[in-house]
Structure 1
Amino acid sequence: MSEDNQIFIPESFMALFIQPGRSKPSASHAEVSARYELCEDMANMLTETAQNIQFTLGITEQDVLMQCLRGLQVEGSVVSLPESHWVVHRLAELLNWPFPETGPEQGICL
């Protein structure tokens, strides 16, 4: 069995690659797996940074998550817009923080 077949990709991430009305992903398993590994690694790497930002600036968990989201959405980012939201939700999950309230009212593109 290849290493790619051993990686569990959560449905929440797989959904990023399934177009409405379709049942199969728009990318190969290898591509989705590679993107998932990148995003999972990104979320894990951001945990310490997010905690430091909260401690240093004394801001709320929601504000930290929104700053991370904005950072992931800058031009030239290695993650797509949908992936940026997934990374921030995963970051919140890893930190046991409430999920961020994202949407147009916060100036964040969904």
Structure 2
Amino acid sequence: MNEHSQILVPEAFADIYRSRPGSARLVLPLAEVAARHELCEDLAQAMTEPARTMLFGAHLAEDEVLRRCLAGLRAEGAGLAAAEAVWVVRRLAELLDWEQPELPEFLPEAK
């Protein structure tokens, strides 16, 4: 991060925007990556209550709730890259203290 930003981008999120695995080089400016991270983090935080509602209200298993969330995030017009959608769902599981779901992995290509 630059000296003017207080947002810390986790490595797992930054990896989405690396030119290749293990590289330090990002394919987008750091400010853009930080903005994408902030959007995705806010989205994961906002999804916690709806996910709990699906779990208890619809009597779904945790992994099914997360799969449905992923499907919604990957829908056309959602505004997220595939890898960002996976990150959001993994972060959602972490926030809810649920097991990490088995999700498709995507190459860290920014869309």
Structure-1-length-normalised TM-score: 0.88
Runs of 4+ with deviation above 3 angstroms: none
- 1:43 paired residue number: 44
- 2:109 paired residue number: none
Q: Work out the CA distance in 1 between the residues paired with 2:85 and 2:42.
A: 12
Query: Aligned residue pairs: how many?
Result: 103
Q: Work out the CA distance in 2 between the residues paired with 1:47 and 1:77.
A: 18
- 1:55 paired residue number: 56
Cα deviation, residue 102, structure 1 = 1.4
Unaligned 5+ segments in structure 2 are 107-111
Q: Work out the CA distance in 1 between the residues paired with 2:52 and 2:87.
A: 18
Unaligned 5+ segments in structure 1 are 104-108
Structure with the higher helix share, 1 or 2: 1
Q: Work out the CA distance in 2 between the residues paired with 1:79 and 1:18.
A: 17
The superposition leaves residues 81-110 of structure 1 with CA deviations (integer Å, 9 ceiling, x where unpaired) of: 10000000000000000011113xxxxx74
The superposition leaves residues 27-62 of structure 1 with CA deviations (integer Å, 9 ceiling, x where unpaired) of: 001100100000000000000000001111111000
Matches within 5 A, 1:80-99: 80-99=81-100
The superposition leaves residues 4-42 of structure 1 with CA deviations (integer Å, 9 ceiling, x where unpaired) of: x21111000000000226430000011001000000000
RMSD over aligned CA atoms reads 1.4
- 2:17 paired residue number: 17
- 1:106 paired residue number: none
Q: Work out the CA distance in 1 between the residues paired with 2:39 and 2:27.
A: 18
The residue type equivalent to 2:50 in the other structure is T
Structure-2-length-normalised TM-score: 0.87
Highest RCO, 1 vs 2 (Cα 8 Å, sep ≥ 6): 2
